[in-house]
Structure formats: structure tokens, C-alpha cells
Amino acid sequence: MKKTIIISSTLLMVALVAGSVFAWGPGYGRGMDSGSGQFCQGFRGQTTWNDLSQNQREELTALRQKFIDETYAARSAKFVKHQEMRLLMETSDPDRAKLGALLQEITNFQKQVMEKQIDFQLAAKKVAPGLDMGPGGGYNRGRRSGKGGHRGWQAPENSSSDTD
């Protein structure tokens, strides 16, 4: 009798866990808009991008590459400082002064990147005024919806294509 109850309980628990796993579904947070760029109005090859002239596309691509080139050193250094901070935090007795100094350096690098991002966005608005790049549009991280959602360039909600 005891064995039957244990086996029944175990099977019931396995069924409950398996049921919740299957209920979650494959690729949590993913759908047709999973960052592949296939169904979102994103950067290259998308609706908004296609509405631009070839000259505008070339200028925006050049601006984006310039932004990436100009911020590469600051972004790399920021990454290195993040790693140093993480490693220091894993020690048995982290030095608060070193952590503060690393945090200040990370903040300075982030400020440099953000200033370049503002310059990039202002230059991009001159090239294509109707283009809304959203927050973080400088390095292809515009508005997002879920995991890998809308990335990059986005047309505003009241796009001028409705009035054509």
C-alpha cells in the first residue's frame, strides 16, 4: 500500500511539472516578432527603412557606422571596467574605494557614449526628419516589445504615409 502511494504521488508530481513546462510554450517571450526583423518595422529591409530614399539610407548607414566607430573605445573600456567590478565583488573582501573608482569610470564612459548617441540622433533627424529612433536608437536598440522585439529605426505612430 505504501509503495503504491509513493509511486502514485511521484507520477502525479511529474505530471504537474511536465504540464506546467508544456503550458509555458516554446521560446518564452518569442513570437513572430522575435528580433529576426521579419515582422517588425525595424532597421534594414523594413517598412520604415524602405520608405527612405537610397541617399537617406546611405547617409544613415554612414552615420551609424561613424557612431559605432567613435564609441567603440568607450564601450569596450566600459565593458572591461564592468568585468573588473564583477570580479572584485566576487572576492571575499571587496575594496569599497576601488569599487567606487570603477563605478566612476564606468559612468564616465557611459556619459561619453550617451553624448555621441545624442549627436548621432540629431544628425539622423536632419537626414530623415520623420524617422523616430526611440530610446537607445544610436546602436540599434530602439523601442522593444519583449525578447528581441522591435529594434532600431521606427516610424512615429502618426506616420506621414497615412496622409499621402
Residue 164 within any structural domain of the chain:
no
Q: What confidence tier does 25 reach under pLDDT thresholds 50, 70, 90?
A: low
Query: Is residue 114 included in any domain, yes or no?
Result: yes
Q: What is the domain count for the chain?
A: 1
Instruction: Please return the burial class of 77, using the count of CB atoms within 10 Å of its CB with bins 0-12, 13-18 and 19+.
Output: middle
In a domain, residue 20? The reply is no
The three cell numbers of residue 65 are 557606422
Q: 71 lies in which domain range?
A: 46-126
In a domain, 143, yes or no: no
Q: What is the DSSP letter of 158?
A: T
pLDDT above 90 (res 13): no
**Looking at residue 128, what is its pLDDT?**
84
Residue 27 scores a pLDDT above 80: no
Question: Is residue 138 in a domain?
Answer: no
Would 117 be classed as within a structural domain? yes
Judge whether 108 lies within some domain: yes
Structure confidence by residue, pLDDT tens digits, 88-139 = 999 999 999 999 999 999 999 999 999 999 999 999 889 888 776 655 444 4
Q: In 3-state terms, what secondary structure has residue 77? A: helix
Asked if residue 137 lies in contact with residue 26, where contact means CB atoms within 8 angstroms, the answer is no
| End-to-end Cα spacing for the chain | 78
> Is position 133 within any domain?
no
Does pTM surpass 0.85?
no
Contact 134, 154 (CB under 8 A): yes
Task: Tell me the CATH number at 93.
Answer: 1.20.120.1490
3-class state of residue 30 by DSSP: coil
| Residue 94 backbone zone (phi > 0: left; psi -120 to 50: alpha; other: beta) | beta
